[in-house]
């Protein structure tokens, strides 16, 4: 979790006990959110690939974070999403997301899939 001081300088959770406590609370909520899924996996007696577990955990984080932002926006009286996210923000995020994308041709994709399947 990133926090900034009034001057805009980032304060890490190691330096900020409040941030550390918020992280612990958030992790407890995420564990509670994931509990039914993990129980289902255990009861099924099967194996879930590590990649899928990471995706489930990431989805849980995102869901909880989205709900937190939604609740804060409602509490703050936000009526229009543009009060929180501008067109410039979207353009900046588009660039960031595009930079993370790796495009491969179909033969490379088949090779990657083959290697992935062998790892499983």
For residue 60, what are the contacts with CB-CB under 8 A and spacing of at least 6?
30, 33, 34, 37
Residue with tokens 């543009």: 82
Domain assignment of residue 45, given as a range: 3-119
- Tell the residue number behind the tokens 């899928």, with chain if given: 52
Cα R_g (the chain), whole angstroms: 20
- Give pLDDT tens digits along the chain (120 positions): 566 777 777 766 556 777 778 889 999 999 999 999 889 888 888 788 888 889 999 999 999 999 999 999 999 999 999 999 999 999 999 998 888 887 777 887 788 788 877 776
When divided into structural domains, the chain yields a total of 1
**d(C-alpha 17, C-alpha 1), whole Å:** 12
* Element spanning 13, H or E: none
**Cross-strand pairs, 11:** 3
């Amino acid at each position: 979790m990133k926090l900034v001081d009034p001057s805009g300088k980032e304060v890490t959770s190691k330096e900020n006990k409040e941030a550390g406590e918020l992280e612990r609370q958030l992790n407890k909520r995420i564990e509670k959110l994931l509990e039914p899924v993990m129980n289902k996996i255990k009861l099924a007696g099967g194996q879930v690939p590590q990649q899928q577990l990471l995706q489930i955990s990431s989805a849980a984080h995102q869901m909880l974070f989205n709900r937190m932002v939604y609740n804060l926006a409602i509490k703050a009286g936000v009526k229009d999403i543009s009060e929180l996210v501008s067109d410039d923000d979207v353009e900046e995020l588009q660039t960031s997301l595009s930079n993370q994308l790796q495009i491969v041709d179909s033969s490379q994709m088949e090779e990657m899939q083959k290697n992935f399947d062998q790892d499983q």
